[in-house]
Structure 1
Amino acid sequence: MTDTMRASLLGQIATYCESNAVPGFVAGVFHDGEQVVAAHGTANVATGAPMLADTGFLYGSVTKVLTTTLVLQQVERGVLDLDAPVVTYLPEFALAVPGTAERILVRHLISHTNGIDADLYFPGDGGRDALKAYVAGLAEGHGVLFAPGEQASYSNGGMIVAGRLLEVVTGVSFPELLARDVYGPAGMTGSSSSAEEAILRSTAVGHFIDPETTEARPTGMFTLPATWGPAGGTPIGTVPDLLAFGRTHLDGGVSPDGTRVLSAESTALMRTVAFDMESPNVPPLGMGWVIYPYGDTTVHAMSGASPGGVSILCVVPEHGLVFAAFGNTPSAMLLQDQLLTWLLREHLGVEIPPLLTEVEDDVDLAPYAGIYRSDQLRIDVAVIDGQLEETVTYEPADASQERIFTAFAGGATAAPPQRYVPIRPGLFAPAGYPLDAFDGYLRLLLVSYHDVRDGRARFRNGGGRLTRRS
């Protein structure tokens, strides 16, 4: 597999990067006992450093699977109970609406069913007490989008609270715990949790496309604040490290060198559906993993955005395959989708049926028009020419959070209006895309609306995140 796979990966990577101004990309595949990593291009256009097989990068939200692994380790040791309220262990945990935090269980934190409305809450660094400061800040102005367990919404806040919970019950800081109980046992020798450590190795930075020159420029912010560590703000590592972690989950919690990292039962629990929104754009959620059906094959995946970069980790248990990749512009997500689809179809022979086969005519659009909000995010939805037009605006709570968000997003606080065409009641696709574009990972670009009451939808779901009608 090795030589042929590397040549195929490099060919697709080079073609895409050169056509789409992606400076650098690295991808790896493990299958049937063989592993290959292919790297192309530049890790940092400011220095000209090459992207290498062992170049480090920010994991972004792939970290959430690592955080979940840490939580379940403590469950196995009898330190945590998934069905206990978080306040049992973290009594200072509170939200702006009295009585809501007390209903959130430990399992809700790692299954994205907690409802905490803090997805864009970016408090400052906080130093060693960063996670303690984050939890304290939740009580000052953050409520819930829904009652715990009632819905699912991709939750940075839940993972960060889980990270603080781990610190309290173990007495060890989250970065130290991650290094001790995941990086070390899983064989992730190139992983760290700070820029100071990462700079000692070859490390890539993210880039954004300059709208005037159409050239890639390096991000002005390498990591997010330490307050975002457990959700993906600071952990850094390599594609071989992610493959080692993926192989650990592929092999029932045993790392490539034979070290037991997690029990087979906990590994299986992470891959078990915890909540299903029953909408094509929102794959079922496990604990840590997002569970993508590709026909009869299941891909357990997590992708991660960082300032100007995107990562992905996928485990395909039925075929014994692990795929990991990083690209240093946001558009590299399309290449990750392309490579994953190619691996499934061409390498594994998986049949991927169309996700969307029919488009309904005469869908009533009135229930979906309105204003939807979540923490510091406003989405205006209007009906125009038989389509929905959405305008997404970031509304920063203060100057500090605006600085962090705009650096993370490449400088913008609002996106241009986007038109959506109806597929069926409650489900919409961005205009101009062929339906087969959504068969793979890009199904996340679809938008759905949920819980229609009295002719009005209560929730909008985009990218797995809920906003609530205001």
Structure 2
Amino acid sequence: MALLPELQAWIDEAAERHGVPGVAVAVGAAGELAEAATGVVNLSTGVEATPDSVFQIGSVTKVWTTTLIMQLAGEGLVDLDEPVRRYLPEFGVLDPDASEAVTVRQLLAHTGGFDGDLFEDTGRGDDAAGRLVEFMRANARQVSPPGALFSYCNSGYVALGALAARLRGATWESALRRHVIEPLGVTHMALYAEEAVLFRVAAGHIGDAKKVYPRWQLPRSNAPAGSTPSAAARELVRFGRMFLADGVAGDGPRILPSGTFAAMREAQITLPDMGARAAYGWGLGLMLFDVDGVPVVGHDGSTPGQRACWRVVPGRDVVVAIMTNGGDGPALIDEVLDAVLAATAGLKVPARPVPPASPAPAEPLTGRYSSPMADYEVKPADGALEVTYIPKGISREVEDEPITMRYVPLDAPGGVFIGVEKDEGIYPLIRFLRDGRYLYNSRAIPRTG
């Protein structure tokens, strides 16, 4: 392997160290492609993971949905600053004023301000996403004014997928296949379980016991947000190279108008500070990072027991895709990504924060914060905070009992709090926004009462 000859050894060692059943990695740099895989796609079957194995890509799907929207914008069929209802009249949330005001741009940037984790199973029919949009009208709370606050929003991307399907006169899946997947020349990608079984497909493994997650695919209602697609790592590299080529696929077809990738990289909102390694902002469908002073964009994805990481370094002609199916997947992704970006782009990624040896006393916060997927009970405990995570809805399929974790201040009181124990190999971070009105962990979760 001319590019990254150490890649196989890196992932072999990292998978063993972090207890990850299977890993697949692809790296594109300077016109070359490096691929490697290790372990198995399913501990129950023992089937070997290979570079062409397909893993669930989770929310990396949102960049594919964004591509559909940016194509429509390039054709003059969508104005990003118009209300969503101009194109999707049935869109709405509980707040009637927000229903009229939320724009396409705000959905792309996760600033619509409404509940984002509505995973209602609306069936497997072609109307699944449309029925989820209908469900939102009576169930999506407005937790902040449109445009005021970043809060990661799966439901907003379901609405974007339904919008794209409406304007293309198709389902989201068929629109994506016709307008993105096929023109790109992608071969190892599945949008349905019946497509995935044609490949060497990864299953998610959950918990310390690495039990195979019994539901291989999440509800189709959230497909445009990432509940169903799976792909080989090399296909995510192919996708990234299209952006680096200013919207042109490898064999010539133009996927996006010239200048679209530059527009997508413009910050739409600055995120709450969660440490040097975290994204500092959000563009149009893209996470924005500053790594060693160099702009990096990408997206992360997760489904039960599976993780995906996709990064593009525009100034260094590098695309990285890393996929895992259980164990301490986030810790492995950190380790492999750091090594790859150092070797290909000359970048040093900041380390994740660790709990301070002598943390400052925490402000004695008390409260309950509620989202569709979980409630969080916060109370003071001996100079720290005790946060109890109480799963709800689909989260109960992964964790069926409350989990309590101790958090200490990472820096000054009122800033970031860090868990004193690792979760999937990394220390979790939270912070409180607007004088404690929101608990923030990429979602702005409102305080109740």
TM-score normalised by the chain length of structure 2 = 0.92
Gaps (5+ residues) in structure 2? Answer: none
The change in CA–CA distance for 1:93 and 1:344 in structure 2 (over 3 A counts) is: same
Could you say which residue in structure 2 is the equivalent of 1:458? Answer: 437
Q: CA deviation at 1:99?
A: 2.0
Candidates 112, 118, 121, aligned match of 2:119? 121
* Aligned mates of 2:146, 2:327 — CA distance in 1: 32
Candidates 325, 334, 340, aligned match of 1:343? 340
Identity %: 30
Q: CA deviation at 1:120?
A: 4.1
Q: Are the counterparts in 1 of residues 18 and 327 from structure 2 also a CA contact under 8 Å? A: no
Please give the residue correspondences for 1:308-347 in structure 2 after superposition, counting only pairs within 5 Å. 308-329=305-326, 331-347=328-344
The change in CA–CA distance for 1:170 and 1:15 in structure 2 (over 3 A counts) is: same
* Aligned mates of 1:330, 1:278 — CA distance in 2: 28
Q: CA deviation at 1:63?
A: 0.1
Please give the residue correspondences for 1:343-382 in structure 2 after superposition, counting only pairs within 5 Å. 343-352=340-349, 362=360, 365-366=363-364, 368-382=365-379
* Aligned mates of 1:255, 1:4 — CA distance in 2: 22
Q: Are the counterparts in 2 of residues 309 and 330 from structure 1 also a CA contact under 8 Å? A: no
Q: CA deviation at 1:114?
A: 0.7
Cα displacement string for residues 4-39 of structure 1 (whole angstroms, at most 9, x for unaligned residues): 614x22212112222333211010111111111101
* Aligned mates of 1:111, 1:394 — CA distance in 2: 26
Could you say which residue in structure 1 is the equivalent of 2:249? Answer: 255
Whether 2:396 is the aligned partner of 1:406: answer: yes
Please give the residue correspondences for 1:298-317 in structure 2 after superposition, counting only pairs within 5 Å. 298-317=295-314
Gaps (5+ residues) in structure 1? Answer: 397-403
Cα displacement string for residues 242-283 of structure 1 (whole angstroms, at most 9, x for unaligned residues): 110011112211112122111232111111111002413462
* Aligned mates of 1:405, 1:375 — CA distance in 2: 9
Could you say which residue in structure 2 is the equivalent of 1:275? Answer: 269
Letter in 1 for 2:151: S
* Aligned mates of 2:135, 2:3 — CA distance in 1: 52
Whether 2:6 is the aligned partner of 1:18: answer: no
Letter in 2 for 1:275: I
The change in CA–CA distance for 1:39 and 1:320 in structure 2 (over 3 A counts) is: same
Q: Are the counterparts in 1 of residues 374 and 395 from structure 2 also a CA contact under 8 Å? A: no
Cα displacement string for residues 385-412 of structure 1 (whole angstroms, at most 9, x for unaligned residues): 111121111233xxxxxxx4333x3x43
Letter in 1 for 2:227: G
* Aligned mates of 1:378, 1:341 — CA distance in 2: 34
Please give the residue correspondences for 1:133-148 in structure 2 after superposition, counting only pairs within 5 Å. 133-148=131-146
Cα displacement string for residues 371-427 of structure 1 (whole angstroms, at most 9, x for unaligned residues): 11222421111111111121111233xxxxxxx4333x3x43533334333412321
The change in CA–CA distance for 1:124 and 1:422 in structure 2 (over 3 A counts) is: same
Whether 2:387 is the aligned partner of 1:390: answer: yes
The change in CA–CA distance for 1:429 and 1:126 in structure 2 (over 3 A counts) is: same
Could you say which residue in structure 2 is the equivalent of 1:246? Answer: 240
Could you say which residue in structure 1 is the equivalent of 2:404? Answer: 416
Please give the residue correspondences for 1:175-254 in structure 2 after superposition, counting only pairs within 5 Å. 175-209=173-207, 211=208, 214=209, 216-254=210-248
Could you say which residue in structure 2 is the equivalent of 1:401? Answer: none
Q: Are the counterparts in 2 of residues 423 and 429 from structure 1 also a CA contact under 8 Å? A: no
Whether 2:264 is the aligned partner of 1:265: answer: no
Q: Are the counterparts in 2 of residues 46 and 218 from structure 1 also a CA contact under 8 Å? A: yes
Q: Are the counterparts in 1 of residues 151 and 443 from structure 2 also a CA contact under 8 Å? A: yes
- Tell which deviates more after alignment, 113-122 or 240-249: 113-122
* Aligned mates of 1:35, 1:177 — CA distance in 2: 28
Could you say which residue in structure 1 is the equivalent of 2:292? Answer: 295
RMSD between aligned alpha carbons? 2.3
* Aligned mates of 1:377, 1:158 — CA distance in 2: 19
* Aligned mates of 1:373, 1:352 — CA distance in 2: 33
* Aligned mates of 1:357, 1:295 — CA distance in 2: 20
* SS of residue matched to 1:168: helix
The change in CA–CA distance for 1:327 and 1:364 in structure 2 (over 3 A counts) is: closer
How many residues in Structure 1 have an aligned counterpart in Structure 2?
442
Could you say which residue in structure 1 is the equivalent of 2:55? Answer: 57
Q: Are the counterparts in 2 of residues 61 and 232 from structure 1 also a CA contact under 8 Å? A: yes
Could you say which residue in structure 1 is the equivalent of 2:431? Answer: 448
* SS of residue matched to 1:417: strand
Cα displacement string for residues 140-170 of structure 1 (whole angstroms, at most 9, x for unaligned residues): 2221111111000111011001011111121
Letter in 2 for 1:467: I
* Aligned mates of 1:186, 1:75 — CA distance in 2: 19
The change in CA–CA distance for 1:414 and 1:250 in structure 2 (over 3 A counts) is: farther
* Aligned mates of 1:449, 1:107 — CA distance in 2: 26
* SS of residue matched to 1:325: strand
The change in CA–CA distance for 1:40 and 1:357 in structure 2 (over 3 A counts) is: closer
Cα displacement string for residues 306-338 of structure 1 (whole angstroms, at most 9, x for unaligned residues): 121111111011211000011111521211111
Candidates 424, 431, 442, aligned match of 2:420? 431
Q: Are the counterparts in 2 of residues 291 and 298 from structure 1 also a CA contact under 8 Å? A: yes
Q: CA deviation at 1:3?
A: 4.2
Letter in 2 for 1:277: L
* Aligned mates of 2:112, 2:46 — CA distance in 1: 43
Q: Are the counterparts in 2 of residues 110 and 287 from structure 1 also a CA contact under 8 Å? A: yes
* Aligned mates of 1:417, 1:361 — CA distance in 2: 16
Letter in 2 for 1:426: G
- Tell which deviates more after alignment, 90-99 or 300-309: 90-99
Letter in 2 for 1:237: A
